[in-house]
Chains A and B, each alone.
Chain A
Amino acid sequence: MTISMKLDGAWLRAAAFATVLSVPALLAGSAVAEDYPSPDETLDWTIAFGPGGGNDIMARTIIDILNKYDLYPGDISAENRAGGSGAVGWGYLFGQAGNAYGISTTSGSFVTTPLQADTPWQPEDFTPVALLATDDLVLVVNGSSEIQNIEEFIAMAKESPVNIGGTGTVNVDFIVPTLFAQRAGFEFDYVSFNSMADQTTALLSDALDAMVGNPGEILGLIDSGELRPLVFSGQSTPAALEGVPTMGDLGYDIGVSMPRGLILTPGAPKEAQEWWIATMQQVVETPEWDEYIEKNTLTPTVLYGEEFREFLASTKSGFSEVLRSVGAID
């Protein structure tokens, strides 16, 4: 990491002058794209969050795989450009419009941050490479609860409204139980927490009836029986939650999840997009990738190119619909 690179990282300038810059950058882009990727170009990989977070881990996993199997010929420089719930990092990428060597990984904030703030970019603006996995949620109750399974839970909730905890309101944690409750026909009070740790403590202290959360962080508590998983929101139940039905199994499919994928700058050359799609098809076949999916209890859901863009657009509109109906956003 040299200082000149750091000085380059002026995303605001880039965002402000994006329209001006994009024309020459596009030309430059198509010139190099003939033999994309050129080994002389350094790939500028933006991680829109700090080290150690989910986005960071995913980016570094992919980079490790690219390096291990020699899939990318040049150097890869990964930079954590954190701030503003991802707005800084993806804003930086947005400002590089047309550059074939700007890339980033997405996570839930990629959809939710533009809903909460006036970001100059929208998720559909970027050149989609691939959706690689989704973050899905598990609904759990305290291990000492009388509720043994999801049918009992729904029956109880229909009798008297329950409360369900989750992290944040402009978040999949709120959307998933809301849609699920609509489909299953019960009512609940959503209790919003700042972190998974806060809500888990609240559930263990019997303040909450149930909560939703990413299984990865609470697997230990599920294994030991402190928490009892009832239902999973993804398309297929991960191995660690064997025996837990999905919402789809119950006939209440909600089709909302957080996209973990890969994007290029807006208007990146077609060759670059195609090259990355082909490369990611190899990456998801590696044992390292399987290990990553399993370790982080993600749902492997793979969509390439334009399909990923459609997925982002429909996720975003699904979110804003639910959030608007409860008055969280205008």
Chain B
Amino acid sequence: MDIFSDLMMGLSVAITPINMVYLLVGAMVGMIVGVIPGFGPSAGLAILLPITFGMDPIGAIMMLAAIYYGAMYGGTITSILLNTPGESATVASTFDGFPLAKKGRAGPALVMQAVASFVGGTVGVILITVLAPLFAQVSRSFGPPEYFLLAMMGMLTLIVMIGSNWKLGLLSALIGFALGTVGVDLETGQGRYTFGSAELIGGIYFIPIAIGLFGLGELFYAFYQGLHKTGTGSIVQYDKEERFWPTAQDWISTRMTMARHSVLGFVVGVIPGAGATIASLMAYSTERSISKNPEKFGKGEMAGLVAPETANNAASSGAMIPLLTLGIPGSASTAVLLAAFLLWGLRPGPLFMEQNPELAWGLIASMYLGNMALLTISIFAIPLFVKLIKVPYRILGPTVLVICTLGTFSVNASFVETYLMFGAGIAGFFMRLYGFSPAALVLALVLGPLAEEALRQTLTISRGSFGIFIDRPASLSIIGVTIALVVLLPLLNRFGKSAGDAEKAGT
């Protein structure tokens, strides 16, 4: 088989002692960077890119890919332990990850997320190996109409997040939409709410708001509850009775979840620009709508953590498809990889894999190895992280604040963003206290601009007609899938089962 020999060639390129060192170093550094709030894969890659200047391209690309993957693995750790997503793709992981940790299941949650990441990542690489040309067709069928519909699908999650108090939930989402309109209007170039500040030209970056609302908000709330006064008090509990390893129940109940969402995540990841965030949100809401016990979601359901984690890692593999087959970066992280390719004088595009088989297949092979290395590193590192939460909260709390602050600052060296984070932190505390939904706000902030831009692009292209949504096969099929997801799946699932579940989700 052709693919097989290509992959073997890739492995032979990748497995040299020095490349293995690069891979391991990259994976570890990536993981450390990912753990810092504020540093997702893209910020991590951008900061670490200069390290690879002067290395040979194959070693360098392996190291960068390992950093990328490592940051994806590491990012979830803070989502689970501190309720602080490092980047938008791990927001969905806080929904059930943090409640799991609060219930004293931090250990199993961390192990399961590592396994889910591994499964998602590996299935993703297998799909790249086997079906790259096929999926290249998927990634080239998406234009603004399809992106608008995808953003709408992502917003289905918003309905789940709005939770019991729908008025305040909706108000939270509206605030998120409002923040999302800040910045220079893409279509007309007019400044909206920028008040002449250069820092706001590009809009309000999602990271400081998410770190503030989730991380700092949670911190203030814990102090409000007086957690720092108890001896070993901590937001998350580490129950000595509870074992570190997941139970058989955890494995069995999430088997199918992993299988489903590695494929779903990959397919969404293949679409340039949609990527891991929408994949993880769609995975979460799909999983919830087909679950036998949706009422447990948001309260520490393992499937609710495994679904987005599998999907976002599968999506990060999927994002390699447009990069390798078309030379189009599907995400902020792959944009940094593209910059690296250009830096080495490569010419990414449809002929890239043909012209640079060693590099392309070496990269693919290194993704298999990277996932394995990261699973191993995670298993060893998790006990350390679990120990960390045993630090008394009166010490851990102020320290977390330092790391959140400096993490936020260093991504863009921006004081405005740092202040935004503090503001969001204080607002997040009151939002928690009074039953608002910080998660809905953050999702609206991520999805709102995406939807607005795509809709306005679509209407410019169609000269104001909505017919474009059904004229294009790709957008018509998304509409079909959405209807299936929203109407048919829950109907099938709840058929014969007593209805009337209380809609309680969110943090």
The answer on a CB contact under 8 Å between A220 and B350 is: yes
Instruction: Say whether chain A's binding surface is mostly helix, strand, loop, or mixed.
Output: mixed
The answer on a CB contact under 8 Å between B326 and A221 is: yes
The answer on a CB contact under 8 Å between B329 and A57 is: no
Q: Which residues of B contact A323 (CB under 8 A)?
A: 189
Q: Which residues of B contact A83 (CB under 8 A)?
A: 198-199, 412-414
Q: Which residues of A contact B200 (CB under 8 A)?
A: 117
The answer on a CB contact under 8 Å between A198 and B272 is: yes
The CA-CA distance from A295 to B345 in the complex, in Å, is 6
Interchain CB contact (< 8 A) of A170 among B189, B322, B329, B474 = B189
The answer on a CB contact under 8 Å between A84 and B414 is: yes
Most chain B Cβ neighbours within 10 Å, of A12, A117, A174: A117
The answer on a CB contact under 8 Å between B328 and A200 is: yes
The answer on a CB contact under 8 Å between B327 and A117 is: no
Chain A-chain B contacts (Cβ-Cβ < 8 Å), number: 176
The residue on B at minimum CB distance from A219 is: B347
The answer on a CB contact under 8 Å between B189 and A329 is: yes
CB distance from A39 to the nearest CB of B (A): 25
The answer on a CB contact under 8 Å between A197 and B335 is: yes
Say yes or no: is B197 at the interface (Cβ < 8 Å to chain A): yes
The answer on a CB contact under 8 Å between A207 and B145 is: yes
Interchain CB contact (< 8 A) of A223 among B322, B328, B336, B347 = B347
Say yes or no: is A82 at the interface (Cβ < 8 Å to chain B): yes
Interchain CB contact (< 8 A) of A113 among B46, B189, B201 = B201
The answer on a CB contact under 8 Å between A57 and B343 is: yes
How large, as a class, is the contact surface on chain A?
35 or more
Q: Which residues of B contact A206 (CB under 8 A)?
A: 143
Q: Which residues of A contact B186 (CB under 8 A)?
A: 168-169, 192-194
CB distance from A119 to the nearest CB of B (A): 6
CB distance from A219 to the nearest CB of B (A): 5
Q: Which residues of B contact A191 (CB under 8 A)?
A: 144, 457, 460-461
Interchain CB contact (< 8 A) of B272 among A197, A220, A326 = A197
Say yes or no: is A243 at the interface (Cβ < 8 Å to chain B): no
The CA-CA distance from A226 to B272 in the complex, in Å, is 17
Say yes or no: is B367 at the interface (Cβ < 8 Å to chain A): no
Interchain CB contact (< 8 A) of A224 among B139, B142, B351, B415 = B351
The CA-CA distance from A168 to B188 in the complex, in Å, is 9
The answer on a CB contact under 8 Å between A202 and B413 is: no
The CA-CA distance from A192 to B140 in the complex, in Å, is 19
The CA-CA distance from A217 to B272 in the complex, in Å, is 15
Say yes or no: is B49 at the interface (Cβ < 8 Å to chain A): yes
Q: Which residues of A contact B272 (CB under 8 A)?
A: 197-198, 201
The answer on a CB contact under 8 Å between B47 and A194 is: no
Say yes or no: is B184 at the interface (Cβ < 8 Å to chain A): yes
The CA-CA distance from A84 to B348 in the complex, in Å, is 29
Q: Which 6 A-B pairs have the closest CB atoms?
A: A220-B349, A207-B143, A169-B189, A87-B198, A328-B189, A84-B198
Can you sample 21 A-B contacts with CB below 8 Å?
A12-B415, A83-B198, A85-B201, A116-B201, A119-B198, A163-B460, A168-B184, A168-B186, A169-B184, A169-B189, A174-B189, A194-B453, A197-B329, A205-B142, A205-B474, A207-B458, A221-B326, A221-B349, A224-B350, A226-B349, A329-B189
Residues on B lying within 8 angstroms of A by beta carbon are 46-47, 49-50, 53, 139-146, 184-191, 194, 196-202, 272-273, 322, 326-330, 335-336, 338-340, 342-343, 345, 347-352, 412-415, 453, 457-458, 460-461, 463, 472, 474
Known: A83-B412, A189-B461. 13 other contacts (CB 8 A): A84-B198, A113-B201, A117-B196, A118-B196, A192-B186, A194-B453, A195-B273, A197-B335, A205-B474, A218-B349, A220-B347, A220-B349, A224-B350
